[in-house]
Amino acid sequence: MDPVRFETHPSRYKHWKLEVEGDRARLVMQVDPEHPMFAGYELKLNSYDLSVDIELADATQRIRFEHPEVRVVTITSEVDKCFCSGANIYMLGLSSHSFKVNFCKFTNETRLFIEDASKNSGLRFLAACNGATAGGGYELALACDDIVLVEDGNSTVSFPETPLLAVLPGTGGLTRLVDKRHVRRDRADVFCTLAEGMKGKRSVEWGLIDATFPKSKFAEGIKARADKLAEQVADVVRGPAVELTPLNPTIEENEYKYKYVTLNLDRNARTAQLTVAAPSEAPPVDAAEMVAQGSELWSLRCFRELHDALLNLRFNEPEVGMITVRTVGKAEHVLAADKALLANQDNGFLREVKLLQARVLRCYDLTARSFFAVAEEGSCFAGILLELAIGADRFYMLEDDDEKVGIWTSDANAGAYLTSNGLSRMRLHFFHTPEMIDKALARGTEGMIPSVEADTFGIPTIVADDIDFEDELRIAVEERASLSPDALTGMEASLRFPGPETMETKIFARLSAWQNWIFTRPNATGGQGALTLYGKPERPNFDWKRT
């Protein structure tokens, strides 16, 4: 399979149409069967693969940045009697295990982006289900604020994965049913085992959807629902509109190079180095000057690049499991960029930049790779870039008597960028000693915290002198790369989020555990498994033992 590329533009969409008129937008799904992500299957009945969801993620992001006037987004379909039949089964059957799991993760992050826009950006999303809405199609609807199903005697919403495929809805659908839509768990149990799904009336009664309209009144009903949603939208500051220009990285055999982010690969060792650079010059601090830089603003471009690099790691480098994270440049430029961004949150564009940074940091947290941050001379783990170190699995610092190696804390570390469970990375780091947070933040106002002093605050994992540092780091990296990736994925997912659970952490914890397990079970993907035999005359042959 060719490498996956994650940048696109509405002019290149094959599966969606983005229409904007005033404060309303329509995202119209009409999947082109002849343009799958890779050869070997057709995208029939508005089924989707990764290429479809890459476009959806791009459209959602562009609405927020390029069309800030929009208040309501209606997601619908132009395929008669079919809203979306979910993830393409044949694509899943042809995909590697890691691709399947990362596909589920990407689609769920796209839906979380939709929910984030609804929560923070003065947007509402309406799923206008004009026909059958199954599996991942219903999961997309669940990400919206309002779900309307056509009443035509045939259309249903359904989760057929368990009865037909011996797997689970892969995009958080089960959790959203009970946590978000408050469907009673016994009713959810019935619904999730009915391959045929449920029609409009009972779906409304059980809370699976919000309303239903006959086909003759569907357009009228959708408009009325959209008008009602528009009235509920928070009165947030909007815009100005900023075009998201291409990143155009240079991709070579062992390197992805962007303007501020570089990913260097050592595939033989199954390791990589991710380097993030500070702004090359003092950033603008005035809101008008920041807006004038548009998508070249460091705070925006750097994190768009980081997101693309993380996605390339997930999908195109499945065997590279151990990543060292480094920073270079002037810390004062990072701190100035952070201060200016946080001080100008009454500007709609700059609010969206901060929200994008937060989403990318959560993607970093949820990437199934081992991350070791490394601070040495020339590093600039300051403010928002310090989040990469605190969020890493380990943080190694070079002990430096000349005080040229250190960290810088700022308001960016005080709760501006929350993790999936609603806590700051500092709060997760000091979960059992929260009093250390204020001490570290207060000390940070005085300037750099040198490595030895940072160690007294408990921020780095390991501080070693120049005699031992390189060897200790090398041994740790080699050891980590030698361990089972399955065990590490489970271990990291369990350790990264101490404290409370949220819908988001539940979804990803269950995705890591249950989907990783179920996608490798013979009942689903074995020679006689349900997913393998889907569409064939043979029936699956289950191993009936419960674990």
149 close to 134: Cβ distance less than 8 angstroms:
no
pLDDT in tens, 143-163: 999 999 999 999 999 999 999
Kindly state whether residue 450 falls inside one of the protein's structural domains. Answer: yes
pLDDT in tens, 328-370: 999 999 999 999 999 999 999 999 999 999 999 999 999 999 9
DSSP SS3 for 278: coil
pLDDT in tens, 188-223: 999 999 999 999 999 999 999 999 999 999 999 999
3-state SS track over 54-113: HHHHHHHHHHHHHCCCCCEEEEEECCCEEEECEECHHHHHHCCHHHHHHHHHHHHHHHHH
Question: Any residues with CB less than 8 A from the CB of 2 and at least 6 apart, and which?
Answer: 38
d(CA 447, CA 363): 29
Which residue is it, tokens 């797997």? 167
Which tokens hold the place of 398?
């070079």
Q: Do 285 and 153 share a structural domain?
A: no
d(CA 91, CA 82): 19
pLDDT in tens, 311-322: 999 999 999 999
Q: Do 215 and 125 share a structural domain?
A: yes
Question: Any residues with CB less than 8 A from the CB of 5 and at least 6 apart, and which?
Answer: none
pLDDT in tens, 373-426: 999 999 999 999 999 999 999 999 999 888 899 999 999 999 999 999 999 999
More confident residue, 401 or 107: 107
Task: Give the lowest-confidence range in 72-81, 329-338, 462-471, 520-529.
Answer: 520-529
Under the banding of pLDDT at 50, 70 and 90, the label for residue 105 is very high
Kindly state whether residue 535 falls inside one of the protein's structural domains. Answer: no
Which of these, 442, 326, 310, 334, lies nearest to 384 by C-alpha position? 334
- Residue 186, judged by CB atoms within 10 A of its CB (0-12, 13-18, 19+), counts as exposed
Give the domain extent around 137.
Answer: 10-232
pLDDT at 540 over 80: yes
Taking the CA atoms of residue 126, residue 132, residue 138 and residue 140 in that order, the dihedral angle to the nearest 10 degrees is -50
Q: Do 132 and 274 share a structural domain?
A: no
Q: Do 281 and 134 share a structural domain?
A: no
Under the banding of pLDDT at 50, 70 and 90, the label for residue 513 is confident
Q: Which CATH number fits the domain that encloses residue 52?
A: 3.90.226.10
Q: Do 340 and 270 share a structural domain?
A: yes
Kindly state whether residue 526 falls inside one of the protein's structural domains. Answer: no
User: Which of 201, 232, 263 is the endpoint of a domain?
Assistant: 232
- Strand 255-257 and strand 250-252: the pairing is antiparallel
Under the banding of pLDDT at 50, 70 and 90, the label for residue 301 is very high
Report, as an integer, the average pLDDT of 218-232: 96
User: Which of 470, 488, 506 is the endpoint of a domain?
Assistant: 488
Kindly state whether residue 239 falls inside one of the protein's structural domains. Answer: no
Per-residue confidence (pLDDT) for residue 31, from 0 to 100: 97
Kindly state whether residue 298 falls inside one of the protein's structural domains. Answer: yes
Which tokens hold the place of 460?
């780095």
Q: What percent of the chain has pLDDT over 90?
A: 91
Per-residue confidence (pLDDT) for residue 350, from 0 to 100: 98
d(CA 449, CA 458): 12
Q: Do 262 and 400 share a structural domain?
A: yes
Q: Give me the sign of the Cα torsion angle 47, 53, 55, 60.
A: positive
3-to-54, 142, 158, 437, 444 alpha-carbon distances in Å: 14, 30, 33, 42, 42
Kindly state whether residue 522 falls inside one of the protein's structural domains. Answer: no
Under the banding of pLDDT at 50, 70 and 90, the label for residue 535 is confident
Which of these, 123, 191, 110, lies nearest to 156 by C-alpha position? 191
Under the banding of pLDDT at 50, 70 and 90, the label for residue 234 is confident
Q: Do 438 and 309 share a structural domain?
A: yes
Report, as an integer, the average pLDDT of 133-145: 97
Q: Do 184 and 88 share a structural domain?
A: yes
Q: Do 119 and 256 share a structural domain?
A: no
Domain count, the chain: 2
> In the Cβ-directed half-sphere of 500, how many Cα atoms lie within 13 Å?
10
Q: Do 328 and 359 share a structural domain?
A: yes
Kindly state whether residue 448 falls inside one of the protein's structural domains. Answer: yes
Q: Where are the beta strands (DSSP E) in 215-349?
A: 250-252, 255-257, 261-266, 271-277, 322-328
Q: Do 256 and 220 share a structural domain?
A: no
pLDDT at 18 over 80: yes
Report, as an integer, the average pLDDT of 289-294: 98
Per-residue confidence (pLDDT) for residue 148, from 0 to 100: 98
First to last CA, the chain: 35
Which residue is it, tokens 């969020």? 391
Report the side by side order of strands in the sheet with 157-158.
81-84, 131-134, 157-158
Kindly state whether residue 237 falls inside one of the protein's structural domains. Answer: no
Q: Would you list the DSSP string of 394-416?
A: EEEEE--TTS-SEEE--GGGTTS
68 close to 242: Cβ distance less than 8 angstroms:
no
Under the banding of pLDDT at 50, 70 and 90, the label for residue 129 is very high
Q: Do 409 and 343 share a structural domain?
A: yes
User: Which of 200, 232, 264 is the endpoint of a domain?
Assistant: 232
The length of the chain is: 547
pLDDT at 511 over 80: no
Under the banding of pLDDT at 50, 70 and 90, the label for residue 512 is confident
